[in-house]
Amino acid sequence: MSAEERRESVVRAAITEFARSGYNGTSTEAIARRVGVSQPYLFRLFPNKEAIFLAASRRCLEDTNRVFESASEGLEGDEALHAMAGAYQKLIAEDPEKLHMQMQMCVAVASAEAAGDHAFGESVRADWLDLWDTVHLALGADVKETTTFLAYGMLINTLLSLGFPPGNRVWSGVYDSARPAGD
């Protein structure tokens, strides 16, 4: 397998592991095991652990961006909104790790900034802005709509991270089309 292909599978494995246990809670060995490769070899493919985390973070935001882009393609206004909400629900149901990874990314950026490392945050913010713009465009460049949509998304992320089961009253005010299934 070529180095590039290996890097690709490392990124996928890293998303799974980092989503579950966070940056500091994930050992490079856990990632290597999931890839099916020796742990030292990761350091031939990436300069260090941070680089793996960054690659996983970026991939995750790009994927989410793509989900919104393709869901809203050709639609506008309320139709685009519901299409994106539905797509998000589907993402949550099929790929909850992406969402957990996003949370891990947030706290990792906060920690990095606190430690004086701004490069990581810079990169993540750029990707997040892309996401913001995608939503903004799809919702007819209405700032209020965009903000509310993303706000609901963040609430959903939070409630899911905290493990509130579908049916709990905290879900009662969330758009049906974006709620986790099962309620």
Partner DNA sequence: CGAGAAAGCTATTGGCCACTCACTAACTTT
Partner DNA sequence: AAAGTTAGTGAGTGGCCAATAGCTTTCTCG
Which residues form the interface with a second copy (CB under 8 A)?
20-25, 100, 103-104, 106-107, 109-111, 113-115, 118, 121, 124-125, 128-129, 132, 143-144, 146-148, 150-152, 154-155, 157-158, 161-164, 169-170, 172-174
What's the min distance (Å) between Cβ of 1 and a second copy?
29
User: Could you say which of a second copy, DNA, none residue 70 binds, taking C-beta under 5 to 8 angstroms by partner kind?
Assistant: none
- Which long-range CB contacts under 8 A does 109-116 form with residues at least 24 apart? 111/23
Q: Minimum Å distance from CB 17 to DNA?
A: 10
- Closest separation in Å from C-beta 91 to DNA: 28
Place of tokens 């999931």: 34
- Inter-residue long-range contacts of 126-130, CB under 8 Å, 24+ positions, other chains counted: 127/57, 127/58, 127/61, 127/62, 127/65, 128/61, 130/61, 130/65
Name, in order, each residue with C-beta under 8 angstroms of 88's C-beta and a sequence gap of 6 or more.
Answer: 67, 68, 153, 156, 178
Q: Which residues bind DNA (CB under 7 A)?
A: 1-4, 6, 26-29, 36-41, 43-44, 48-50
